[in-house]
Amino acid sequence: MRWVVGNWKMHTTPSEAAALARQLREVLAPLVVAHPEVRVVVCPPFTSLEAVRHVLLGSPIAWGAQNCHEEVQGAYTGEVSARMLHELGCTVVLVGHSERRRYAGEDDGRIARKLRRVLEFGMMPVLCVGETLAERRAGYTEAVLERQLRCSLAGLPEGAWNRLLIAYEPVWAIGTGVAAEPEQIAGAHAFVSGVLRDLGAPAAVPILYGGSVNAENVRRILAQPTVWGVLVGTASLDVAQFCDIVRAAWEVPCC
Ligand code: PGA
């Protein structure tokens, strides 16, 4: 199984999102139907979810959300719950994206609660982990990954492990146009796998890579045997590039 997840971030109004989803459906739906081993998911802003759902319903392209609140409902002005996203047909929810950690001050404890809430409502969390440039330069990459993984995943019920994706996204590679080198990705993925095993993951949990993935570098990245797929930001807004990336997901053999 391969995964291509598009993160549209704070781009697209509902009408723009619907137009983008329509183009993706037109080009990608027949290809994705022919390659059921590849899962394609797009994550528009909350306000565009209904419009995207309307366009993609009945197609092989799924949709998900970029975040959710850790509580089910209540006096949390401006927040959106997993329960609401579930009713909108979301299949995945990004949890702990570095932009949430950085700009919204999300800590590991909160991310752990969000992740459990997403699971409770039958959706797949995509737990994003990754080090900053300063942390990498100081030699703390593994320590950071281990802390993020342990805090979010310790004590996870056994049945939850096969309903979870991890995205290794080095912060220095996100939105910079400079993706991590395949060897850096392979190293980080191997380390993540080891921590997951240590935490009790019964089987291989899919680990994606994210950070400046584009049509030009995706094949090199997917050629790493540890990479189950990609989380794509900027390039997911460009129909031609995103389609190329999806094509690479079945053209590059899984190891
Ligand atoms: P990018 O974003 O592809 O624009 O680097 C990736 C992400 O933030 O998930």
User: pLDDT tens track of the chain, all 255 residues?
Assistant: 999 999 999 999 999 999 999 999 999 999 999 999 999 999 999 999 999 999 999 999 999 999 999 999 999 999 999 999 999 999 999 999 999 999 999 999 999 999 999 999 999 999 999 999 999 999 999 999 999 999 999 989 888 999 999 999 999 999 999 999 999 999 999 999 999 999 999 878 999 999 999 999 999 999 999 999 999 999 999 999 999 999 999 999 875
Active site residue 97: yes
Cα of 233 to ligand 1 centre, how many Å? 4
Q: Is ligand 1 within 6 A of the CB of residue 98? A: no
Q: Which of 127, 169, 172, 241 to mutate to test the pocket of ligand 1 (most atoms within 8 A of CB)?
A: 169
Residue 199 φ/ψ, nearest 5 degrees:
-80, -5
Q: Is ligand 1 within 6 A of the CB of residue 7? A: yes
For ligand 1, atom 3, name the residue with the nearest CA.
233
Q: Is ligand 1 within 6 A of the CB of residue 213? A: yes
Active site residue 69: no
Quote the pLDDT of residue 191.
97
Give which of 64, 140, 128 is closest to 98, Cα–Cα: 128
Quote the pLDDT of residue 255.
58
Q: Is ligand 1 within 6 A of the CB of residue 166? A: no
Indicate which atom in ligand 1 lies nearest the CA of residue 213: 3
Cα of 134 to ligand 1 centre, how many Å? 19
Contact (Cβ atoms closer than 8 angstroms) between residue 248 and residue 213: no
Quote the pLDDT of residue 64.
98
Q: Which of 5, 7, 172, 218 to mutate to test the pocket of ligand 1 (most atoms within 8 A of CB)?
A: 7
Indicate which atom in ligand 1 lies nearest the CA of residue 174: 5
Q: Which residues pair with 63 in a beta bridge?
A: 42
Q: Is ligand 1 within 6 A of the CB of residue 230? A: no
Quote the pLDDT of residue 158.
83
Q: Which of 69, 86, 97, 189 is catalytic?
A: 97
